[in-house]
Amino acid sequence: MSSQHPCITDGWFNEVNDKSFPGQAFSLKVNKVLYHEKSQFQDILIFESSDYGNVLVLDGIIQVSERDEFAYQEMISHVPLYTHENPKKILVIGGGDGGVLREVVKHSCVEEATLVEIDSRVIELSKKYLPGMACSFKHPKVRVKLCDGFQFLRDVAESGTKYDVIITDSSDPDGPAEAFFQMEYFELLYKALNDNGVVIAQASENVWLNLDYLKTLLHTARAVFPLAEYCSTMLPTYTSGQLGLITCCKNPKVNPTDPSRVPTEEEQTNMRYYNRGIHSAAFVLPTWAGKVLKP
């Protein structure tokens, strides 16, 4: 394990990516490096920050921080789960930190949640350094498959297995996650869904960073699904403070902007970000972005 990292200078972690975040950068003050290694698939860094708790970084890009991770985990999980009227069988691709699983199993109607993660080191290190998220791996409804998500979906297509909700919690479209933003991937997602199935995928970008990329991604999704919409969540440790999500419905009569179910009182007490109002509001676009992204 190395205590040094090229993204850390003078006690500050610096996220710089001219491809994804041109002309801007993001920094967090580092108390200490907890872990650093290059796994078989990616560069993994975990550090303790001064104000955001422990932070997981993959290939130089922040994935989660303990302070604000719930804003991402709750929206990418609950938007599709409350859009579906009765989700029982859930597939999560990526998300080795366990945060999405933690949110999925809050739904009593869920009977099975399968997580597919290519890098076992992310799971192992999250259990040690991000226990508030990785606690979900102990849940009896959770199953873990250590393999490539793309190949898993190909196998699913051959077997005929179907899911009610599929959540793609991949890293950014560089390196091992690049395939998760292409046409074949959306086609495999479509095949893996039940008739009323819902897919959500983190879009990597938002309207402030790369509107043209989002337009292309939505065009790809809409070539496969009868309905695909953009929504977003807000959290400070993602560059520009916003992260985009693409929600796709196999049934054109299912409206992702209007949840089919609402949280029970007990469910809502276990959520810090998501509620019915913010579900619908997350799909509202500023005028200039809506002109580009709306079908």
Residue 51 falls in the annotated catalytic set: no
Identify the active-site residue in 68, 169, 172, 174: 169
Q: Which residue has the higher pLDDT, 32 or 181?
A: 32
Distance CA 48, CA 128 (A): 13
pLDDT at position 179 is 55
Q: Is residue 175 pLDDT above 90, yes or no? A: no
DSSP structural state of residue 68 = T
Residue 86's pLDDT band, with cuts at 50, 70 and 90, is: very high
pTM: 0.94
42's CB contacts (< 8 A; 6+ apart) are 58, 59, 119, 171, 175, 176
Beta strand 89-94 pairing with 163-169:
parallel
User: What is the residue whose two structure tokens read 């991000």?
Assistant: 130
Q: Which CATH number fits domain 69-293: 3.40.640.10, 3.30.470.20, 3.30.450.20, 3.40.50.150?
A: 3.40.50.150
Kindly state which CATH superfamily the domain 8-65 is placed in: Spermidine synthase, tetramerisation domain (2.30.140.10)
Q: Residues of the chain with pLDDT > 90: what percent?
A: 85
Task: Please give the structure tokens belonging to residue 20.
Answer: 């994804």
What are the extents of the domains in the chain? Answer: 8-65, 69-293
Q: What is the pLDDT of residue 205?
A: 84
Copy the structure tokens of residue 216: 């292309």
